[in-house]
Amino acid sequence: MENLEHQAALLFGEKEYAKALEIYLLLFQSNPKNEKYAIACGNCYDAIGDKETAVGYYADALRINRNSEAAMLNLSTIYYELKDYDRSTEYADKVLSLNEKNVAAWQNLANIAFCDSDYEKALSYYQKMYELNNKSYIAMVNLANTYYYMGKYVLALDFAKRSIERHPSSVTAHILAGNSLNAMGKYEKAIDMYMRAYELDSSNVELLNSLSDVYRSNNDWENCMLFAWRYMKNMPEAPNPIQLNFGYLLYECFSEKSQDMAKKYALKWMKFFPDNKIAQHLGSALTNGKALQASEAEFIKETFNSFAPEFETTLADLEYQAPNLIFEALSKNLKTSLFTRYHILDLGCGTGLCGEKIRKFATSRGLIGVDLAENMLEIAKRKNVYAQLICDDLCHYMENSDYFFHVIVAADVWTYFGDLTKAFVRVWRSLTPDGLFVFTFSENEINQEDYFMAPSGRFVHSLSYVERVLKSAGFKVVSAEKHILRNEAEVPVYGYVVTARKPDLSKQQKG
């Protein structure tokens, strides 16, 4: 029996978990009242990724010994890993009721508080760990990380340095020290700390991202893009939010430092991610914007589904004005009273920013929103502004809908269209006679073209072109007012809010 147990322990130590499990299962079957074997089976199942079965064996150990500290601690840890924080807390508390000096139980409680963004509570638990063992690297590095998230960068740096003294090869500790220095504006010292980490692990994606960020803060765009690209190459399955961030970094490089450098990395990006719509679209905008006639629906959908959680915060930072401008235009041109309300279509409604402004003009069931990105619509739905939200391409919806509207609005929608002819014809067909079409668009200040894909990946249009297409579609332009629509990189983006009317031909004939 002792030989088998020793053999299983050796196999587990060598990470031969499946072979170790075979032996522990035999031992537990022969000794069903042995708490130690039940825990060992649980540990093996946990190690091979079968956490549910592991939980069962830890529960068996507790049935054998209801005060098993090891079983309770393992249950707390595994429930934390499964993100069942209530159960994890329950078992951590039970461990501490038996042994208030159990550092691992305090760590679980601290980690849960941190995941819940309760940094004050997390800090108190990590401090408890540190009090129990002031040589604990885990306590030090977690204190450094928590202080950093709390914005207490001096303390974060102090504990990061203590972590490095305790564990000189810790990449995490070096990154935390660098992040703290970067946040304090000590860029050269931050770079030095990051480069020490780079010598330890040159493929750490968090480190590569931090290096790119600090070089950007230090206005060293050559190294900023070098490490940003290394970051992307180390993430061949980079999700769309990361693709978007890289695209925005390229655009910033293009605008502020070097067009040639931005184009060079844009070409690398497109080649490395040939199937990613965001990389292909934004890369093409930087390298050959004239060739693009419209944004692909798949690009728009993927972009805004990725962007949805931060959409409204970002637009607030950009001082986004389109919803306010559309509201003001409707206020000037619509007659409203208790008994006068309109059926309104909000094209590209997104999270409902425009809908919130204009709902007062609509009947109780008269405001409909259409957007390609389901994640944006989920946020709009929570606002209870729209009678109906439809996930569809806006042109496809108007072409196939039999519903007619008194008003159609589009806030910064045409930034994803080059040629507006077909879209405006469909808007005209979807309006009732005397209906209003109110929208914003960004002005082409780059060249003399009717429309142009700017390096930002968005289309800009000339006012003369927009007015010409409106007239061709049958609209009468009521007004076209120039305004600042938003800011980009702290630079105003100018455009127009346009109000156009579909003439009532029956009134004209009578006249």
Kind plus residue range of the DSSP H or E element containing 452: strand 451-453
Instruction: Quickly tell me which residue has 């070089």 as its tokens.
Output: 215
Q: Is the pLDDT of residue 348 over 60?
A: yes
Instruction: Quickly tell me which residue has 């429930």 as its tokens.
Output: 79
Strand partners, 498: 439, 480
Q: Are 408 and 427 in contact (CB under 8 A)?
A: yes
Q: Which CATH superfamily is domain 310-510 in?
A: Vaccinia Virus protein VP39 (3.40.50.150)
Measured CA to CA in angstroms, residue 488 lies from 141, 228, 285, 494 at distances of 37, 21, 16, 10
Domain 2-242, CATH class in plain words: mainly alpha
pLDDT at 341: 79
Nearest to 495 by CA among 412, 424, 428: 412
Q: Is the pLDDT of residue 336 over 90?
A: no
Domain ranges across the chain: 2-242, 310-510
Express each pLDDT in 192-218 by its tens digit.
999 999 999 999 999 999 999 999 999
Distance of alpha carbon 111 from alpha carbon 90, whole angstroms: 14
Express each pLDDT in 370-412 by its tens digit.
999 999 999 999 999 999 999 999 999 999 988 899 999 999 9
Average pLDDT over the chain, rounded to whole?
Answer: 93
Distance of alpha carbon 353 from alpha carbon 380, whole angstroms: 8
Beta pairing class for 476-488 and 491-501: antiparallel
Nearest to 171 by CA among 194, 188, 147, 142: 194
pLDDT at 43: 96
Please state at what angle helix 17-30 crosses helix 35-47, rounded to 10 degrees.
Answer: 160
Residues contacting 447, CB < 8 A, separation 6+:
none
How much of the chain, in percent, has pLDDT values that exceed 90? 80
Nearest to 420 by CA among 381, 475, 502, 376: 475
Confidence band of 4 (pLDDT split at 50, 70, 90)? confident
Instruction: Quickly tell me which residue has 């978990």 as its tokens.
Output: 17
Copy the structure tokens of residue 403. 């519903």
Please work out, in degrees rounded to the nearest 5, the angle formed at the alpha carbon of residue 8 by the alpha carbons of 7 and 14. 90
Give the global pTM.
0.78
DSSP string, 1-41: -HHHHHHHHHHHHTT-HHHHHHHHHHHHHH-TT-HHHHHHH
